[in-house]
Structure 1
């Protein structure tokens, strides 16, 4: 019995196949029974083939955990600036002099919108691509 592994365009294991039982597509790699079994038993990572034809398991990257962590950071930033929005609106409603200028308030609203849009952006969830808060909000939140 011959065993094969098929890889996708990125070199990630797509399918394990058995000769005579499955149609073996062009590009599938014949592997030892031992490696074939290992790819089934060791499913705590991603099996890949490199440019030299070596098949190795890469540690699992928990994209969901990164996404969840970055969304939690984003939600924290929205919560941390909510009081600034509320204060400005309350001061306006009471016809008081506002603690922040209209320009600062607009910057704050734009920042908060960038936070909301961030998960759908190309840079998400790279923490280096996080929206930057206006400097004055950082100072007021300390």
Structure 2
């Protein structure tokens, strides 16, 4: 019975999950392999962990309190504004901005910059994968 419930929950989760394009899926697979190498108990990326990370507050590289929402807002379907440059940022949610999470080089560049801005360090493979899993489902 427990296995049946788990299969139903997993199936429903997969039905609701959005898919990455082929290059992004390859990148996600690379992050997954890296996360597994760092932690043999790694079982997959988690949107809930990604959401928690996205909303968490930290001392950013400039010393002030920052979170991803400082620029991207609490609703990823809305545009935001870079707090350092005041430049507008288009909506991060792929459901309203089909160009999001489609270009691996662009995603890698912004993950590197944004983790450095918010966390004052590079993100781990687990953190990147979790955040991307959260965003793709918005």
TM bucket normalised to smaller:
under 0.3
- Compute the TM-score of the two structures, normalised by the length of structure 1: 0.26
Rg larger in structure: 1
> Higher strand proportion, which one?
1
* Structure of greater relative contact order (alpha carbons < 8 Å, 6+ residues apart): 2
